Structure 1
Amino acid sequence: MKKKIGIIVIVILLIQLIRIDKNNPPVDPNKDYIKITHAPAQIAEIIKKACYDCHSNEVKYPWYTNLAPISWYIKGHINEGKEYLNFSEFGNYNMYQKEHINSGLVSAIKRETMPLSSYVWMHKEAELTSQEKTILLNWFEIFDKKSDK
């Protein structure tokens, strides 16, 4: 039994050597969602607190991202989130992609699938209130009307 525990401890220590990349790519403010859409301060604040940690090049890695395998799990979510939508790269998307993203944001808010409950569990400030959800839905509706023109 002691041998098994010793092996487990050694494996746990060894996996700590496999680090995740915590470097954020440079941010071009001219490509950022908030600047491009001329989002009001209230919208910017809500999106930054609830979305930017997984969907931008401004990820803030908390202390527990130094612990494998937790770090791998979190980095996987960040990579997946940025693959779907990267607010820092919004200017690189074409109009079709922007419209698709916008409808996805509306759907995620209505279905309450974003931010992820596992993220909110550790980041209570990211939980959207009913009022914030309504504010965002109204904002995304304005974006839809702008893109129709």
Structure 2
Amino acid sequence: MHRLWLENVPAKFHLDREHFGLLINRPDYAVHHVVREPSLGHLVGYCAAYANGEELIGSLAIMVVRQDFRGLGIGQVLHDTTVSSLSRIRGVRRLQLGSTFPRFLYGIPTGHPNIKWLEGKGWPFGTIHKAGEGRLMADWLVRFEAIIH
């Protein structure tokens, strides 16, 4: 999972294996799905999702498909299975792309090539017209070790 993460997100969002593991392994309200290549069992895609908060928010935090396996419907299956799983969790009031806890990405990075694909799945990226449908966000990453002398 960590290798796929590094291969598919912009370098500024890279995490070392230890921190990635700490974020992904959340036993409470975690909904993870994986797809493996049938003959050898190699991981070719995964989706990590969480439900958290007082009024539960279902967060589709990460969805990654290996580059050479794209266009085969793997992303479709991961997306639909995860959204369905989150929707069935008692108390989930809404779904969002990105995650607030654990904090992988707050949303889709600007200019991500799959924004049109996600819009086709019903995720709105245009102007927000109603309260509670989302808001524009900016993620700022600070590496404290780089600024502390």
Which range, TM-score by smaller chain?
A: under 0.3
- Taking structure 1 as the reference length, what is the TM-score of the superposition? 0.28
Structure number with the higher helix fraction is 1
Tell me which of the two structures has the higher relative contact order, counting C-alpha pairs closer than 8 angstroms and 6 or more residues apart.
1
- Larger-gyration structure (1/2): 1
Structure number with the higher strand fraction is 2
